[in-house]
Amino acid sequence: MERRCFLQAGLATAELSLLLASGLVPTRVLAEWPSDAFHAGNMAEIERILFGDAQIEDTDQITIDAPDIAENGAKVPVDVRVQLPGAESLVLLSEKNPFPLLAQAHFTPEVESDLSVRVKMGDTGNLVAIVEADGKLYRAVRAVKVAAGGCGA
């Protein structure tokens, strides 16, 4: 059994080395996670860190698709669809989580500006999507009831 594991690990390492050498696997991450915003304890602080004093306008051009009642807060499926032209980035927040920042995405003109993720929600509350498009900020809010929290105590 040990020989088989050794051989499998050796083959996996060889395959990864070939992919790295060919340039098919990136050797560095281009995006940087905003750790200050992630560790912020409330929505206002996150918005200040990520967007400064910029005004955020509510819109119906952003759709947050999530269950009305999440049976398990540890894995809540969320789809965000953006119909704003020139969408550049999206931030997804949960107001009741200990760490409200759930996801951040950057878009290029070649891709659709939609996001599908599974998130943890600690308690019943609002999911908030903030999108930057054409230099302006837009927000959509969706209430989700959580039957059993997913963030632990």
Tens-place pLDDT, residues 67-85: 999 988 889 999 999 999 9
The torsion defined by the Cα of 151, 72, 44 and 136, in degrees rounded to 10, comes to: 130
Question: For strand 56-58 and strand 136-146, is the pairing parallel, antiparallel, or unpaired?
Answer: parallel
Q: What local confidence, expressed as pLDDT, does residue 81 receive?
A: 96
Q: What local confidence, expressed as pLDDT, does residue 99 receive?
A: 85
Q: What local confidence, expressed as pLDDT, does residue 54 receive?
A: 92
Q: What local confidence, expressed as pLDDT, does residue 153 receive?
A: 45
* 118 beta partners: 77
Length of the chain: 153
- Evaluate the CA torsion angle 107, 33, 49, 40 in order and state its sign: positive
Query: Percentage of the chain with pLDDT > 70?
Result: 75
Q: What local confidence, expressed as pLDDT, does residue 38 receive?
A: 79
- Residues 6 or more apart whose Cβ sits within 8 Å of residue 56: 47, 130, 137, 138, 139
- Residue 110 burial (CB < 10 Å; 0-12/13-18/19+)? exposed
Residue 83: both structure tokens together: 């119909």
